[in-house]
Structure formats: structure tokens, C-alpha cells
């Protein structure tokens, strides 16, 4: 007999086939009355348990930049000695009046008026000023890697911040109580620093990691578990190159910047092409003929999912092609067989003098490094044709570096890219709102002559040689008006060897799993260890087939903390060569198998992600890029109750269901969805998660203070 106010504890014995968060209704029949309660059961395995948060999340206020008055000098790398450039790059200090406008958050009238030919230079220079930012990091680890200490820098791949070989940083022990690792002694045993202010020089830059050298004594006493605050010294070289290019656009023909204002209509006279190989398809032949028929004027756009020419189509000769590299690029970045096309001295890349450059018919460079050609006085019009590859990924000022310095009216400009994939990554929300997050290619596609597919301005390469036809089906329908033609050879042997696939003939598999949104320490980035563990399980199963290696598998996830958790899991299982990264890091890449690990399992955080353009559900382009990286098999691990709220993901889930390629938790109720044509002007621009909160310890007012494991609303999926 239970008396009023008393509590009866009941123990439930449960057995689950899968890890994850499970819910069920428990019925109690008491004297003809039925009581119902919802029971939540979190099922873990060893891997998910090992990835659990070691420290509860606590939101902290960003600390002010620490002052560095005295510091222990680091070990400087060898400098590249050169003869000096012919044309020096101006410094471009920020004008005092503009700085005051920015600091007071005031917007000049010419920015409000919108971009025009007359205000072009002032407009983009102001946006670049908004983008300039001194960057810091807090509570981070330095890890010993041989003779270096390495530092993970989120956003480095997108030059946020811009760090190059030879730059230096300052680090300071994060805790108040200085431990022994923060004490630095000289060779005589005397204490030289007790405050932890240390200078470190960058000796190598790789993807999102820099390799540093500090004082030798600090290296020998360093402990990987120590936490440090980092202050970067801002390298403005790339910003100065963009300012300079924007200034130089004043001499460009109007047809390059504003084709619709050009008084002359384009006329292209083509000559039938004798193909240099039999591998060119109809669209490639057409594009080449149109480019050869161009006589300057507006850019010609190659739009599509394939290369204009494959490597096999071109015979490479050393005396015709030169690969220009920045001096800061690591020597061993290149494959050995490509080094013959480069110029270097003592393992440091250099730009050859003008007379040597003039001997090459083709020069290959990044957008930024093309400024070296101007520095060596390569004249406008020297190149008859200039090709911009992946032109949808760069901001307009960056695209202007080769255009403004090397083009004249007769130069044929060719932009290759896809405006339906990810665009430039910006730091400043205000600069992004006014157009810095929009590429030159995307701006041109607002014009009728480009958007309507006029063959005098654009050729669509609609044949796709990467993806299995079923992987390509939805992207083609949703983003390309169903025009894409799949041409990939059959990969049925791989699908037949994968044991967990319920349908061996369908290459897209969705595993529904409910987990927990978590954060730890002072890091606002999210992770979901339950889903991470499932990813590891899937990877192990794929490798067990014997026909896939680590290099054949890629894992895409939207949050940096989930990336780190997965990398930790793979390293512990001796599979470190499986690439794990965000969508931005995978753009332009491909793998035989791609696994997409979503993170969110709590409905109430969706609006925050949507506002700040985080995660998978905020941007259709992110969806497009993520699902088209797979060649033969695409695996999605996520909570269907969360991602089905997005019209694009919902169609992917139900297409898997219709093809008997779904397993996992119970599905939500199916909703009819109608997808309008994707409008780049209506969707939010690309913002990396770290640009909002994760990168430098900045926290937005909307970020909630989650108390891990205490409040059911925080760790449940939000549905009952």
C-alpha cells in the first residue's frame, strides 16, 4: 500500500540492440486506473564512453587580449633570401576616419547604396576593413610533434586567421597558478620566465595546424595537458594584396566588372575543333570552341561538375608550364613528379625573375600568389587567357588579384566553378551581409545573360563522372533542374561486400540514431559521442570488407568538436588516415565512401543554428556539397526527427526509406514538402561554426548554458 506523498522506485531491466537514446512508454495498472510514464534509456559502448565530456561545459566571458611586455624569444626559422620585388606592395594602413566608422558601427552611405561602377573600390575596401581582425585563442593545448609543438587553429584553411611560415605568436599559461611547465630556465639553471609569456615561431603550416618552435627549455619541460591562451600577430600580406587589387580595378574595362553595362554585345565566331584526344565529350568540346572564339570582353563561365580537361588529355612539358608557389609553402607539399615544374632554392620556393617567367606559356598559381607576377612586372596582356578554377569559393577582392593586374580588354577571362556549392568563408557578419561572402562568379550569375544559360557567356558541363547515379539523383533534381547526367561506372561489387546494407543495389544508407548534444569545458562547439561511436562501428565494418583502405573513407561532420572526437577515436584504434572534417574541408574532394555524421539531437537548438548558419540544416549548399563527395557509397548517421524538419534532408531520408535503405530508430511522421528553386540571395551566407563561437572563444548572447546530464530537456531529443 502506497500512502499519499510516498515514492515507489521501480527498476526496469532493458536490453537494446543498438546504442543511442531510446524512449518507451511504461504502463502501470492500479485498481482499474492506468498510469503512463515515459522512460528514457541511454545505451553506450566503450567508444562512446571514452569520448564523454571530461569537464562540464561552462560559458565564460572572453578575456581581454593579454599584454606582452617581456617574453622568452622563440626559435626563428631560416628566412628566404631574395633579390627583392620590382614592384613593392603598399602598406594600406586603415584610414582614421574609416576606423572610427567601424568602431562606432556606422555604415557609410556608399555601402548602403549598393555596389556600382563608381563606388567599386571604396565599397570593397570598406568590406575588407570590416573583415580585418586580430585573433586570439583561449584554453588550448600544444602537442609535442617531434622537434615542434603543434597548435590546431580552426579556420586556418580558410585563412581565418592568415598565418604563414615565419610568423610568430605569443602564448601564456591559462591558469592563475603557474605550474612547473610554465617556468622556463636558461642553460645555467636560472629562472628566465615565470609568467608564461613565450614567443613561438611558425615553421610549418598544414591545413588547420601550425608547427611551432619556442625556446628549447620550454620544449623540454612542456606537458601536452597544459592549457594556454594564444595571441596571434596578424599578418596583413593577403589583405594588402586584396586592397591593392581593388585599387587596380579602376583601369579595368567595364565589361569585366559590370558586363550588363557594356555598350557592345558579345559575338563569338567558333571554328570546329579537332580534338586532342577522344575523351572529350560534347559539352567540353563546345566550351573549348567558345573560349577559343572569344575576343576579350565579359568573362566566359564554365559551370559544372567536371573538369574542362583531364590530366590524361594534356601532355605536360617542363619548358612550357610553370607552377608558381609562395615562399611560405612547405617544400614537400608537392608530389615529387610535380617538383620539376617549380622553382626553388635550398628547399624554399621562389618566384623566378621576369625574363624566366616570360619563357613559359602557362603559369599555374593560387589567386593570392598570382600577385607575385605583378611584383615581377609581368605586364597586362602578357597572357592571352586567364582561367579561374573553383571561382565560386573565393571572395570578389581575392578574384581581382589576377584580374586587375594581368588583364586588359582583349584578355580572355574564364571562370570555372559552381555557384550552387559553398562560397567564400567570411569572419565579419556585416561584411558578409554587404557582399563579401558572395563570389565574383555568383555576382555575375545574377545577370540575365549568365543565369539564362546563353552559350555566348556560359557552358554547362552536365556530365558527372564522380557519383553513383542514385547518389546524384537528389542534387540534380534540387539544385540543377534535373540536368546532370551520371556517367560513373557501376560500383556494384563494393555494395555487395558491405554487410550492413539492407539493399545491396542502393548506394545511400541512412541509420537513424538518437543521442545527446554535449559540450565540454569552455568550448561552445557541440559533439555527439553516441553518433561518433556509430561512425567508428561503420568504418570498422567497411575496412573489414578488405577492398577499402583508410584513404578510401571520409567522414563529414558539421561541428569542430565532433571532428576532434572522431579523430581521437580513430587514432586510438590505429586508423589515423581516415580523413575527418567539416563540409568546407571536403569541398573539391571525393572518397569512395563518405559517412556524414550529424550532431544535433535536440530540437530547441535548431533555431540557434539557423540564425547563425551552423550545422547541416542552415544552408542548402552545405547539403549539396556534403552528399556529392561520395563516389560509390553514402552513409548518413543522424536523428531523423531533427533533420527531417529540413526539406532537403527530409527528401533524402524518405528516398532511403522507399528504397529499403533505412535502419535504426522509429521514423517521424512523413510530411509533404515542396522545395522552391534555391535562391542564393535568400539563403544565409556561409559562416563556419568557428566564426560564430568556436574559433576564438567568443560567445554569442543566444548560446545557452547547458548543464550536462541534469535536465532531461537538455539531453533528450525533445520528442515523446
Mean pLDDT, residues 469-491 taken together: 91
Q: Which of 396, 426, 461 is the last residue of a domain?
A: 461
Q: What is the model's pLDDT at position 7?
A: 86
- Do 169 and 313 share a domain, yes or no? no
| Tens of pLDDT, residues 519-566 | 988 788 889 999 999 999 999 999 999 999 999 999 999 888 999 999
Residue 100 is assigned to a structural domain of this protein: yes
Q: What is the model's pLDDT at position 249?
A: 97
Q: What is the dihedral of CA 307, 308, 310, 313, to 10 degrees?
A: 180
CA distance 57 to 60: 9
Residue 278 has pLDDT above 80, yes or no: no
| Tens of pLDDT, residues 335-365 | 888 899 999 988 889 999 999 999 999 999 9
Residue 482 is assigned to a structural domain of this protein: no
Domain that holds residue 676: 505-715
Cell of 198: 613565450
- Do 212 and 259 share a domain, yes or no? no
Q: What is the model's pLDDT at position 375?
A: 95
CA distance 301 to 286: 12
Q: What is the model's pLDDT at position 5?
A: 86
- Do 221 and 307 share a domain, yes or no? no
Q: Which of 120, 139, 136 is nearest to 128 (CA)?
A: 120
What sign results for the dihedral spanned by CA atoms 42, 47, 48, 53? Answer: positive
- Do 232 and 259 share a domain, yes or no? no
Beta strand 412-417 with 300-304 is parallel
Confidence of residue 181 (pLDDT cuts 50, 70, 90): very low
Residue 313 has pLDDT above 60, yes or no: no
The pLDDT mean for the chain works out to 84
The packing angle between helices 620-627 and 469-479, to 10°, is 160
- Do 430 and 324 share a domain, yes or no? yes
- Do 561 and 420 share a domain, yes or no? no
- Do 309 and 446 share a domain, yes or no? yes
Q: What is the model's pLDDT at position 82?
A: 62
Residue 35 is assigned to a structural domain of this protein: no
| Tens of pLDDT, residues 595-613 | 999 988 766 555 555 555 5
| Tens of pLDDT, residues 237-275 | 999 999 999 999 999 999 999 999 998 889 999 988 777
Residue 291 has pLDDT above 90, yes or no: yes
Residue 503 has pLDDT above 90, yes or no: yes
- Do 565 and 694 share a domain, yes or no? yes
Name which of 23-32, 58-67, 184-193, 653-662 the model is least confident about: 184-193
Q: Which of 185, 204, 238 is the last residue of a domain?
A: 238
- Do 519 and 626 share a domain, yes or no? yes
Give the single-character DSSP code of 439: B
Residue 717 has pLDDT above 50, yes or no: no
| Tens of pLDDT, residues 194-221 | 445 899 999 988 878 899 999 999 998 8
- Do 227 and 262 share a domain, yes or no? no
- Do 234 and 342 share a domain, yes or no? no
Name which of 9-23, 80-94, 454-468 the model is least confident about: 80-94
- Do 201 and 280 share a domain, yes or no? no
Q: Which of 238, 262, 288 is the last residue of a domain?
A: 238
Residue 667 is assigned to a structural domain of this protein: yes
Residue 352 is assigned to a structural domain of this protein: yes
What is the tally of structural domains in the chain?
Answer: 3
| Tens of pLDDT, residues 391-438 | 999 999 999 999 999 999 999 999 999 999 999 988 888 999 999 999
Amino acid at each position: 500500500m502506497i500512502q499519499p506523498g510516498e515514492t515507489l522506485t521501480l527498476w526496469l531491466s532493458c536490453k537494446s540492440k543498438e546504442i543511442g537514446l531510446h524512449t518507451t512508454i511504461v504502463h502501470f495498472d492500479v485498481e482499474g486506473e492506468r498510469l503512463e510514464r515515459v522512460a528514457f534509456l541511454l545505451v553506450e559502448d566503450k567508444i562512446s564512453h571514452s569520448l564523454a565530456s571530461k569537464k562540464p561545459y561552462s560559458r565564460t566571458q572572453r578575456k581581454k587580449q593579454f599584454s606582452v611586455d617581456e617574453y622568452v624569444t622563440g626559435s626563428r626559422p631560416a628566412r628566404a633570401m631574395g633579390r627583392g620585388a620590382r614592384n613593392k606592395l603598399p602598406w594600406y594602413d586603415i584610414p582614421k576616419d574609416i576606423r572610427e566608422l567601424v568602431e562606432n558601427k556606422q555604415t557609410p552611405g556608399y555601402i548602403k547604396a549598393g555596389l556600382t561602377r563608381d563606388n567599386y573600390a571604396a565599397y570593397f575596401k570598406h568590406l575588407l576593413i570590416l573583415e580585418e581582425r586580430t585573433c586570439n585563442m583561449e584554453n588550448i593545448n600544444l602537442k609535442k610533434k617531434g622537434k615542434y609543438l603543434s597548435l590546431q587553429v580552426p579556420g586556418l584553411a580558410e585563412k581565418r586567421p592568415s598565418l604563414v611560415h615565419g610568423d610568430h605568436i605569443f602564448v601564456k599559461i591559462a591558469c592563475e597558478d603557474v605550474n612547473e611547465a610554465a617556468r622556463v630556465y636558461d642553460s645555467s639553471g636560472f629562472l628566465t620566465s615565470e609568467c608564461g609569456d613565450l614567443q613561438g615561431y611558425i615553421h610549418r603550416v598544414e591545413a588547420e595546424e601550425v608547427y611551432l618552435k619556442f625556446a628549447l627549455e620550454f620544449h623540454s619541460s612542456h606537458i601536452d595537458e597544459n592549457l594556454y591562451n594564444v595571441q596571434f600577430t596578424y599578418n596583413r600580406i593577403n589583405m594588402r594584396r586584396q586592397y591593392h587589387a581593388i585599387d587596380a580595378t579602376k583601369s579595368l574595362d567595364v565589361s569585366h566588372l559590370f558586363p550588363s553595362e557594356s555598350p557592345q554585345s558579345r559575338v563569338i565566331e567558333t571554328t570546329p575543333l579537332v580534338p586532342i584526344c577522344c575523351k572529350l565529350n560534347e559539352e567540353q568540346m563546345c566550351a573549348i570552341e567558345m573560349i577559343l572564339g572569344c575576343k576579350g570582353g565579359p568573362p566566359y563561365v564554365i559551370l559544372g561538375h567536371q573538369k574542362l580537361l583531364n590530366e590524361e588529355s594534356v601532355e605536360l612539358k617542363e619548358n612550357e608550364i610553370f607552377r608558381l608557389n609562395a615562399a611560405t609553402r612547405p617544400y614537400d607539399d608537392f608530389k615529387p613528379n610535380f617538383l620539376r615544374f617549380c622553382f626553388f632554392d635550398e628547399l624554399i620556393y621562389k618566384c623566378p625573375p621576369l625574363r624566366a617567367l616570360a619563357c613559359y606559356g602557362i603559369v599555374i598559381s593560387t589567386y593570392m600568389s598570382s600577385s607575385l607576377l605583378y611584383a615581377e612586372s609581368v605586364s597586362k596582356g602578357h597572357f592571352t587567357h586567364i582561367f579561374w578554377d573553383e571561382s565560386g569559393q573565393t571572395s570578389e577582392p581575392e578574384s581581382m588579384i589576377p584580374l586587375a593586374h594581368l588583364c586588359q580588354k582583349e584578355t580572355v577571362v574564364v571562370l570555372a566553378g559552381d555557384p550552387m556549392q559553398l562560397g567564400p568563408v567570411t569572419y565579419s557578419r556585416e561584411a558578409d551581409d554587404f557582399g563579401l561572402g558572395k563570389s565574383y562568379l555568383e555576382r555575375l550569375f545574377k545577370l540575365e545573360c549568365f543565369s539564362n544559360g546563353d552559350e555566348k557567356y556560359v557552358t554547362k558541363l552536365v556530365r558527372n563522372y564522380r557519383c553513383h547515379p542514385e547518389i546524384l539523383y537528389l542534387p540534380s533534381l534540387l539544385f540543377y533542374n534535373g540536368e546532370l547526367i551520371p556517367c560513373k561506372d557501376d560500383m556494384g561489387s563494393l555494395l555487395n561486400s558491405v554487410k550492413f546494407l539492407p539493399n545491396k543495389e542502393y548506394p545511400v544508407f541512412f541509420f537513424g540514431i538518437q543521442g545527446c548534444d554535449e559540450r565540454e569545458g569552455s568550448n561552445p562547439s557541440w559533439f555527439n559521442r553516441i553518433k561518433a561511436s556509430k561512425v567508428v562501428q561503420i568504418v570498422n565494418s567497411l575496412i573489414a570488407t578488405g577492398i577499402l583502405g583508410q584513404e578510401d573513407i571520409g567522414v563529414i561532420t558539421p561541428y569542430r568538436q565532433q571532428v576532434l572526437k572522431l579523430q581521437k577515436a580513430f587514432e586510438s584504434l590505429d586508423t589515423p588516415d581516415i580523413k575527418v572534417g567539416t563540409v568546407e574541408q571536403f569541398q573539391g574532394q571525393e572518397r569512395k565512401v563518405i559517412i556524414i555524421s550529424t550532431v544535433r539531437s535536440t530540437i530547441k537548438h535548431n533555431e540557434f543554428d539557423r540564425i547563425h548558419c551552423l550545422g547541416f540544416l542552415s544552408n542548402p549548399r552545405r547539403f549539396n556539397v556534403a552528399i556529392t563527395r561520395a563516389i560509390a557509397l553514402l552513409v548518413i548517421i543522424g536523428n531523423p526527427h531533427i533533420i527531417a524538419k529540413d526539406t532537403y534532408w527530409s527528401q533524402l531520408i524518405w528516398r532511403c526509406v522507399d528504397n529499403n535503405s533505412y535502419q535504426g530508430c522509429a521514423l517521424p511522421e512523413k510530411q509533404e514538402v515542396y522545395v522552391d528553386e534555391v535562391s542564393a540571395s535568400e539563403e544565409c551566407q556561409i559562416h563556419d561554426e568557428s566564426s560564430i563561437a568556436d574559433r576564438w572563444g567568443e560567445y554569442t548572447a543566444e548560446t545557452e548554458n547547458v548543464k550536462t546530464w541534469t535536465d532531461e530537456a537538455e539531453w533528450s531529443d525533445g520528442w515523446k
